[in-house]
Structure 1
Amino acid sequence: MSMQAYRGSILHYLEDPYTHPETSRAFIEDGLLVINDGHIHAVGPFSALIASLPKEATRIDYSGKIIMPGFIDLHTHYPQTEIVAAYGRQLLDWLNNYTFPTEKKFSDASYAREVSEFFIQELLRNGTTTAMVFSTVHPDSTDAFFETANALDLRMIAGKVMMDRNAPDYLTDTAASSYEDSAELIEQWHGKGRLSYAVTPRFAPTSSPEQLNFAGRLLQEYSGVYLQSHLAENKQELEWVAALFPNARDYLDAYEQAGLLGPQSIYAHGIHLSDSACQRLAETGTVLAHCPTSNLFLGSGLFEMSRLTDQGVRFALGTDIGGGTSFSLFSTMAEAYKIQQLQDLSLHPDRAFYLATLGGAKALSLDHCIGNFLPGKEADFIVLDPSTTPLMRFRMEHCQDITEKLFVFAILGDDRLISATYVLGNLVYRQEQ
C-alpha cells in the first residue's frame, strides 16, 4: 500500500480527560494524518509535515472536516438487528418475546451471513470500526460474523452464546457442547487477522454453574480470549439470579466463582451493584459496558458513572443493539449525558469522546494498537462533516470552540455526521452525496 496523507482538522485523545483535563485532548485545526501500510506514520500540523511528504504519496483533502479515530462499541448483539425498536417490554419479557424467537432464525447459516453483512455495514456507516459482538447459540452464526468481518480486515471481537437452561429448547446447548463448540471456534478464529474471540455465556440465569465453570476453563486454556456477558441490568433479574445461585453472595459472585472476572472480561450494564461488587470489579480490572440507550428503552435503570469512577471500576460505551435503539455512538453519548444529568453530573464532551475512542480501546486492552493516532497504531479512522445538516451547519456557526462543537456533535449527531470510514487506511464507507 502506498503512503496516504489526509488533511483536515485532527482530533484524538492521549489520556483520560477525567484525570488529565488539561492534557488529554490533541486537536490540530489544520492537520495532516500520514498513513503507511495501514498504520499511522505521522500526525501533526499540515505546515510542519507537508514538506517532508514523499511526492508519490496519495493526498486526500478533508479541509473543513474533522478526522478522528474510529468509534469502539463495547457491547452489541448482531442477531438482534431486526428487533431494534420493538415495542413495550422490559428485559426478561424482551428476551422471551423478541430475542429468543428472532435468534432461532440463525440456525440458517445463509440468513446469519445476510444479517452479519447488514450489521457490519451499519457499524461502518455510523463510524464504528471495532465492536464486541454477541452472535447466537449456533456456531454457524459466529462463523458468519467472523467471515464478514475478516473480509474487511476489521478488528472485531465476537463469540457464540452459551446457554444451557431457562431458554427454549431450540436455543439451548449443553455445558459440554458449549465448551466444545467454543473451543473449535477459538481455534479457528481467535487471532486470525484482526479478530479475537470472546467466551460468551449470555447471562447467569441461562447458564448452569457447570456451564459457567466450562467458560472459566476456556479462559484458562486459551490465552488472550475475552469474556463477555451481562450483569445487574434489571431488578427482577437480580432476584432471579439470587434464587438460581443460592450459594453466591451476589450476582457478580455467580461469575466470580467460575473464574470469569479479569481485565479482559466485559459485562454489559452494571446498573444495580453493591459497594462490595464494585470493589471486586475494580480489584480484578473487570470492565463494564455502559449501554444508555438500552437502559432507558428497557426501563432498566441509571448507570452511576460518578460512583463507579470513584470506586475505580473500568468502563466505556456500548450500543447494545437491539435493546439499544441506535448504532450511533453519538446517540449513545447523548443518552449517557442525559442519564448523568438526572444524577447531577454533567458528562463533559471530552470524556464522552474519550470513552468512545481511546477509552474503549483501553477497556478492551487494545490501546496498544487502536484508539488514537500515535505512530505505529492501526489506521482505523473516521471523517466528520460538520455541515452535514442545515441545523448542524447553523449550530456550528455559533460555537465558540472545539469543546462546544464536540458537545453539539454528541447531542445532535447521528450517522449523517460520518462522511467516511477507513479501516487500515482503506476506505470502507463513504456517505452518498
Structure 2
Amino acid sequence: MSGIRQNIEAIEQEILWFSSLLQNRFQSYFENTEFQNPAPPDLSSDDSTYASLIKKHNFGKDERAILILALIPHIRPQLLDLFFSKNELLDRGYTEFGGYLGKFHGGFLPTGETVMFILSGNDLESRLKAKSYFDKNHPFSIENILFLNQEEEFEPQMSAPLLISQKYLSLTMTCENSEPSYSVFPAKKIETSLEWEDLIIEKEVKKDIDQILSWIEHGSFMMNELGLSKKVKPGYRSLFYGPPGTGKTLTACLLAKTTGKDVYRVDLSIIVSKYIGETEKNLARIFDYAERHEWILFFDEADALFGKRSSGSSANDRFANQEISYLLQRIEDFPGVIILASNLKSNIDEAFSRRFQSMIYFGVPNQKNRHRIWSKIFDGPLKPEVNLDLSKLAADYEISGGSAINVYRYSALRALQRKSEFILKEDVIQGVQKEFQKEGRTI
C-alpha cells in the first residue's frame, strides 16, 4: 500500500470518529443529555504519516479531535455545516460555536471557541483545559503543528481562527513537506550552494559574523540558564551595510546553512501596502510564522521600511510612522535572528540603530582580496588568455565580488559565442566598464 493511500485510510477512520463525536456533542447540548464521548480508532499498529504524528507526541483524544478539526476544512468541509444551526430566539448563529467565514470559502471555519464547544460544551473546567492545548509548551506550538491565529490583540484568544501549519497540512495530506507559497506570503526562502571559504571578507568582519553564529548556538542557554532574559530583550539583531555585491545576502544564507535554519528574505514591495493597516497585518504574518519556524529573517534594501521617520503632520506621515513603530516593537520582541541589509548606514533610522547587537560593514574588497576573488572566479574550464593578468586586474579596478561575477558572466558568454576556451582581456575590461556604468563611474 502506498504511503498516501495508507495516510488517507488513517484520516478516514479519524473523520468517522470525529463525526460521531460531533453528533454526540450536538445531541447532548441541545437535548440536555449526558455526553457520550466515543473512543478514537486504534492507530497503534498503523505506520502512516498521520498515525506516526499522533504516536510521536502521544496525542490523547482531545488533541486528536483538535488536529482533525483543523484538517477538516481542507478535506471534508461539509462535515462542519452543523455549525450553521440558527438560534431561533436571537435570529442568528450560536455564539458558543465560534467559527468565521472566509473570503472565498463558503463553509464554516473553526476557531478556538469551536474547539472548546466540541470538547467541553458548557463545562467551565473542561473549557479551561481545552485552552491549555494552545500553550507555548504544548507540542502543537513547539512543533508548529497548529495554532490560533490571533490578529486582534484585545479580542478573546479563543475567538481566533484555528489553523494547521502549511508543513503539517502537506505532511498529513500528501506525506510531503512544503514551504509557504510565495504568491500569498511576503517572504521567500533563500539558499546558497557556496561555503564560507567562498565568502572573501576582512578578518574583522568575519569575527563579527562569528558573534551571530555564537548567539544562535548559545543564545537560549544565555537567556534561560544565565538569566540574561531578565536584563535584555530576546533575539539578535544585526545591520549589514555597504555597497551592493559585497556579500551581505551570501552571509545571511551561510549563517542559515551552518546552523541548520532557514533564512527568509522579506519582500518589502509586498509588505508595504497602500491600504491603511495592511502593512501591520503583513508584518504580523511574517513575524508569527518566523517565530514558530525559528527562521532567520533577512530584510534586504531595508531603507524602504526601516528608514528615517517623517516629521510631517499629514495623514500619510502619521500612518507611515505608526507602521515603523509597530515594526520596532515586533523586532524587539522577536526571539530569533533578524538581519537588515542596507547600502548606507546613514539611511537607517537612529531608533533602529540602538536596537542592533551588531552593525557590520561589508566594504569593497581591498586589492589582495580582489585578487583572491578573481582567482576563484577564473578557477574553471574557461581560462583567462595569457595577457590577462589577474594581479593587475585586481590592482587597477576597485570592484565588488558581485560585480566581478557579472564581469565573468559577460566575458564567458563572449568566449562561448566565439567557441573559444579562453576569456579575452578586452572582454573582461568591457565587462568592468559595464559594471562601472551601472554605478555612474568610468574606467
Instruction: Give me the TM-score of the superposition, normalised by structure 2.
Output: 0.25
Query: Which protein has the larger Cα radius of gyration, Structure 1 or Structure 2?
Result: 2
Say which structure, 1 or 2, has more relative contact order (CA 8 Å, 6+ apart).
1
Higher helix share: 2
Higher strand share: 1
Instruction: Give me the TM-score of the superposition, normalised by structure 1.
Output: 0.26
